[in-house]
Structure 1
Amino acid sequence: MRSLIALGVALMIAAPVGAMASSDAVPPTAQASPAEAIALAQLMSPRDLLIDMEVREFDKHFVPSLGADPEMKALEDQYPGLFEAMHKASRGLVVEATGRSVGKIHVSVAKLIQSNFTPADIVELSDFYRSPVGQKTLRQMAAAADAGQVYQRAVAETDFKLTEDQIAAQLHDSAQKTAQSFTPEEQTAMLLFMAKPSFGKLARTQPQIQKLLADEFNAPDPDFDRQVEQAISAAIEQHIASFEKPGGQ
């Protein structure tokens, strides 16, 4: 069940529209402070936005993904509403687990920022992400994210692992959709941002960001697995029992 959470979060974080990966990173002459780094990580990837996006993707894809399994589909046909009962039982746990993942990701991204960005870079990036076009970029990237195919694979493959290439592909798709939503004035603002040194540094850190996202997504979470298994098992038992009562569904 761990592989059914954090999909949305892993598919949209910190990547500006048009960022291209590069390996020629140059260590900064002066490093950002821990406080500056964590503040920028949170600004680039707002906690509430990421949690809302993950819950949206979970609500949209969880039930259809279960239906792709013939055995599960047979149970749903026999006990209509079973999938929705499973969805309802696990939704709150997904919200909690996503919040934990976002917190861990912010810490990891902050360490990366500290190692690669100067205080001047922090100012440039913070100014952009606080600007109207920066805020729109975050909202549009979140709105454009679609984890449908990944959900299907996560359900179908017992040992499914999210790869950095999958994250990069999803980010590229979301970025293209976001760029298409810009007005001419917003396109100009984005081009001005892309000309700044901090943008180039952010682009060069994308492979590292994608790796830490994949690592967080693929990390085991036995407590979450146990809680979800218990919640879903109880929901299944109660739902099936409701069909066996006199006058039941």
Structure 2
Amino acid sequence: MKHLLIAAASLGLAFVLPAPTLAQDTAASQPAQQTAYVDLVAAMQNGIDQELVIDNQLAVVRSIWQADPNMVAAEATYPGLFDAMIDAGRPVIMRHNQELQDEFRPRYVAALAESLTEQEAARIAEFYRSPLGVKMLGGLSRTMDSRATIEGGVANGEIDIKDFDKDVRKSAGQIVGSLSAEEQSELVRLFTTDPALMKMNDLQAIVVPIRADMEKAGMAPARQKEIEAAIQNAAERHIAGG
């Protein structure tokens, strides 16, 4: 039954923001008609601490820099360089995240509307707002760092959805492992007896392609150049001493 638990944990991961690839050295939300499907997307996205996920991702970026002898030498010569670069990149990434959330929300809503009744969507949203659902989304926020996605993007210049899937499975496994035996038993019960929750595994195939497109949009040259410019300018200011 472990695959059922992984499904419960991993569906929310499909709604996490794209991973930044700023390891190179170099708006307001749109209004939407409130429906059960809009509410379901909100339940998953709002249950995730996006800032914590970004901090996790930036920690991976820092670790990549720390594995580069040239970057290590630069940090040793100009202490605080990494901090300055990370601090400059974070607000740009946060803004890009909000833009992408707004841009892709209608697609998520439409996809869910094709697959679920309003009653089913409302029930799944209720689950994600329950103590157990909140605990799972909180675990997602703590464990999702997009390491494979970021490292693959840096190495290949593009996002491979297989890397994202690897990150999802790793995080989902950690979330399930953090649950007590009683909580795991309750999840198994819910996912084998509740008709709406039993559909969640099938939703993976529907939302992951949208998530892949979201990743590609996050890698758009204009967005990447803006992040890189912010980091490069911060590095130059730090090295210049101002």
Tell me which residue corresponds to 2:39. 39
Q: Rg bigger for which structure?
A: 1
Tell me which residue corresponds to 1:191. 188
Quote how far apart the aligned CAs of 1:70 are: 4.2
- C-alpha separation in 2, matches of 1:129 and 1:233: 40
Quote how far apart the aligned CAs of 1:139 are: 0.9
Quote how far apart the aligned CAs of 1:75 are: 3.3
For 1:108, the aligned partner's letter is R
Quote how far apart the aligned CAs of 1:171 are: 2.1
RMSD of Structure 2 on Structure 1 (CA): 2.7
TM-score, normalising length: structure 1: 0.74
Find the partner of 2:166 among 142, 158, 169.
169
CA contact (8 A) 2:147 2:167 kept: no
Distance change (3 Å), C-alpha of 1:152 and 1:45 = same
Matched, 1:16 2:8: yes
Distance change (3 Å), C-alpha of 1:167 and 1:199 = farther
Distance change (3 Å), C-alpha of 1:225 and 1:144 = closer
Quote how far apart the aligned CAs of 1:122 are: 1.6
Tell me which residue corresponds to 1:221. 220
Matched, 1:87 2:81: no
Q: Kindly, what percent of the aligned residue pairs are identical?
A: 24
Tell me which residue corresponds to 2:230. 231
Matched, 1:147 2:146: yes
TM-score, normalising length: structure 2: 0.76
Matched residue pairs, number? 214
CA contact (8 A) 1:145 1:170 kept: yes
For 1:162, the aligned partner's letter is D
- C-alpha separation in 1, matches of 2:183 and 2:118: 26
Q: Which runs of 5+ in 1 are unaligned?
A: 1-13, 20-32, 244-249
CA contact (8 A) 2:75 2:82 kept: yes
List per-residue Cα deviations over 1:15-62 (Å, max 9, x = no partner).
51387xxxxxxxxxxxxx972211101102227x24223322233122
Distance change (3 Å), C-alpha of 1:209 and 1:133 = same
